[in-house]
Amino acid sequence: MNLEAGLGTLDPAFARDQASGWMTAQVFNGLVELDADLLVKPVIAKDWRIEEEGKLYTFILRKDVFFHKHVLLGKDSSRTVTAADFVYSFSRICDPKTASSGQWIFNGKIEGLEAFKEGKADRITGFVAVDDTTLQIRLTRPLPGFLGLLAMPYAYVVPKEVVEAYGDEFRANPIGTGPFKFVRWEEGSFLLLHKNRTYFEFDNEVRLPYLEGVFVEFIPSRLSAFVEFSQGGLDIINGVDNSYKDEVLNLDGSIKEEYANAYQFVLAPQLNTEYLGILVDTTEEVAKGHPLSDVRVRKALNYAIDREKMVKYLLNGMGFPVNAGFVPKGMPSHNPAVVRGFEYDLDTAKALLRAAGYPNGEGLPELVLNSTPNYQHISEYVQKAFANIGVKLSIQNLQGGALRREIYSTKINFWRASWIADYPDAENYLSLFYSANHSPGGPNTTHYRSQAFDDLYDASLTMTDDSARFALYNQMEQIMLEDAPIIPLYYDRMFRMIQPNVKGFRTNPMNHVVLKYVRKE
């Protein structure tokens, strides 16, 4: 398969983007995983119970899970996974010295975490290995989506001996428990994984995985990858590109007959929102005194984009225009009747620019949108939309990993981004706007801050009644949209082309890549 955005890491503690999430999922496992219907299923945890009104989780672990072989893992170059390994892995995520981008999944949720982070305790009391096969996690308050959090790559188990020996280089020397083991990674060229012959999961009576290995290329051009796929050099390609969408898709999003007869396709709603992010923290140098710090300018840009036309003509229907909130279609709390976003309205856009002191864009310096080459058509569409209200926009393209580094280090103030659900609850999307989650330690890359939003967010975490919690989610979303730290564009549709001899490929609305069941005929 191909990953056109490249690969930044194979360390689960830093698996914050799609590519690293897909690949670490092949090499590592967690306590649980999400199935095709987004239901939580056991993996290393064979069972669990929830007690004390939702604050105490007790997991019973399998006894037949081994780390991949490595000389550091004892006389047999391997050993079984124990509850202590999960205590170490979770504590590592939370340790400020690790600087994991995933620490937010535990922030404010685990007993004893704050004392540990402040250096007042040498361990997190909320993570306890009762014995080798019994793990307990104690929360500070009930959290309905907690099991979903534990299905994320950040919560995969890693071996202390290997992590501490490699340090930062564990990113390129991963040892996990997954269906495939790491062989070689030539950055910018390829990744090679081989079958883990002692993997613990079975499909009926067949030990998984079926494949002997997985070979991943990093071809940056989706058109080049499409050509290679057409010639049989790739088994799967992910996403449809502007360069070949008209070749494959009709305008309504259906597959053209000659391709439908030749290949397999996965077309389904995906819990992903494509958007433009804006750094609104005026204490940061790149945002201080910038026109994008004015909410009227940000709203004007939102009203200037015709999202319906974008989806129809640029994407051939492979998406859903966002005229409501940031939380995507398919999430239970998604409610366009309650959450009102930005309809296309040039008159309102121009009026807001005038009110901000930039009539017809006069006096407004040129804006710079940071994006990636694969989204050039989207960037150019936005560029023309802004020109209609007198706003000049230049486009700066970076490779995916470089763009993410710029965003998380607050070196740029306007960028294209997407958020694919990590777990199936809208809290995952709203966490991007919670002030305690400011990057680089969390996903709040816009550095948005609102006390009203934070208060509702905190209140929602204690609610077990779905309808009441969803009502708070809708309020939070509306508050955020009124401040416009983002420009939502469209909700995604999953698109995959698969060779006809590939069987058993699995995914879900969160666009997971599950290769352990795949076989080639």
Q: What is the pLDDT along the chain (521 residues), one digit of tens a residue?
A: 999 989 999 999 999 889 999 999 999 999 999 998 888 999 999 999 999 988 999 999 999 999 999 999 988 899 999 999 999 999 999 999 999 999 989 998 999 999 999 999 999 999 999 999 999 999 998 887 899 999 999 999 999 999 999 999 999 999 999 999 999 999 999 999 999 999 999 999 999 999 999 999 999 999 999 999 999 999 999 988 878 988 999 888 889 999 999 999 998 888 999 999 999 999 999 999 999 999 999 999 999 999 999 998 888 888 999 988 999 988 889 999 999 999 999 999 999 999 999 999 999 999 999 999 989 999 999 999 999 999 999 999 998 889 999 999 999 999 999 998 888 889 989 999 999 999 998 899 999 999 999 999 999 987 878 899 999 999 999 999 999 999 999 999 889 999 999 999 999 888 899 999 999 99
Rounded distance between C-alpha atoms, residue 141 and residue 379, angstroms? 43
Residue in the structure block whose two tokens are 């496992």: 29
Same domain, 59 and 90: yes
- Would residue 435 count as lying in a domain? yes
Same domain, 38 and 173: yes
Same domain, 301 and 427: yes
The two structure tokens encoding residue 184 = 């070689």
The secondary structure element, H or E, covering residue 203 is strand 202-203
The two structure tokens encoding residue 477 = 């979303």
Same domain, 402 and 504: no
Amino acid at site 40:
V
| Per-residue pLDDT tens digits for 152-210 | 999 999 999 999 999 999 999 999 999 999 999 999 999 999 999 999 999 999 999 99
Phi and psi of 114, rounded to 5°? Answer: -65, -40
pLDDT for position 169: 97
Same domain, 506 and 490: no
Phi and psi of 66, rounded to 5°? Answer: -115, 145
- Would residue 397 count as lying in a domain? yes
DSSP line for 364-384: PPPEEEEE-GGGHHHHHHHHH
pTM reported for the whole predicted model = 0.78
- The SS3 assignment for 115 reads helix
Same domain, 373 and 279: yes
- Would residue 197 count as lying in a domain? yes
CB-side neighbour CA atoms (13 Å) of 457: 25
CA distances from 55 to 89, 139, 489 (A): 20, 5, 38
Same domain, 132 and 92: yes
Rounded distance between C-alpha atoms, residue 387 and residue 364, angstroms? 12
Same domain, 150 and 171: yes
- Would residue 323 count as lying in a domain? yes
- Would residue 237 count as lying in a domain? no
Helices vs. strands in the chain: H and E counts, helices first: 16, 20
Asked if 430 and 470 touch (Cβ cutoff 8 Å), the reply is: no
Q: How many domains does the structure of the chain reveal?
A: 2
Pairing of strands 367-371, 393-397: parallel
pLDDT for position 252: 80
Find how far residue 419's CA is from the centre of its chain. Answer: 5
Same domain, 147 and 288: no
Same domain, 339 and 442: yes
| Per-residue pLDDT tens digits for 425-473 | 899 899 999 999 999 988 999 999 999 999 999 999 878 788 999 999 9
Handedness of CA 326, 329, 334, 335 (dihedral sign): positive
DSSP line for 394-463: EEEE--HHHHHHHHHTT--SEEEEEEE-SSSSTHHHHGGG-GGGBTTSSSBTT----HHHHHHHHHHTT-
pLDDT for position 106: 95
Phi and psi of 95, rounded to 5°? Answer: -70, 120
Q: Which residues lie across from 497 on neighbouring strands? A: 237, 265
Tell the burial category of 49 from Cβ atoms under 10 Å away from its Cβ (0-12, 13-18, 19+): exposed
The two structure tokens encoding residue 385 = 């939309």
- Would residue 432 count as lying in a domain? yes
Same domain, 301 and 408: yes
Same domain, 209 and 314: no
Contact residues for 277 (Cβ-Cβ < 8 A; gap 6+)? 407, 414, 415, 416, 417, 445, 446, 485, 486
Asked if 495 and 268 touch (Cβ cutoff 8 Å), the reply is: no
Rounded distance between C-alpha atoms, residue 517 and residue 348, angstroms? 52
CB-side neighbour CA atoms (13 Å) of 501: 8
**Range(s) of the domain holding residue 366:** 270-494
pLDDT for position 461: 81
The two structure tokens encoding residue 342 = 């930005």
DSSP line for 17-63: SHHHHHHHHHH---SEEE-TTS-EEESSEEEEEEETTTTEEEEEEPS
Rounded distance between C-alpha atoms, residue 398 and residue 232, angstroms? 29
Q: Could you tell me the CATH number of the domain that includes residue 283?
A: 3.10.105.10
The two structure tokens encoding residue 408 = 């998380």
pLDDT for position 241: 83
- What share of residues in the chain are helix, strand, coil (percent, to 5)? 30, 20, 45
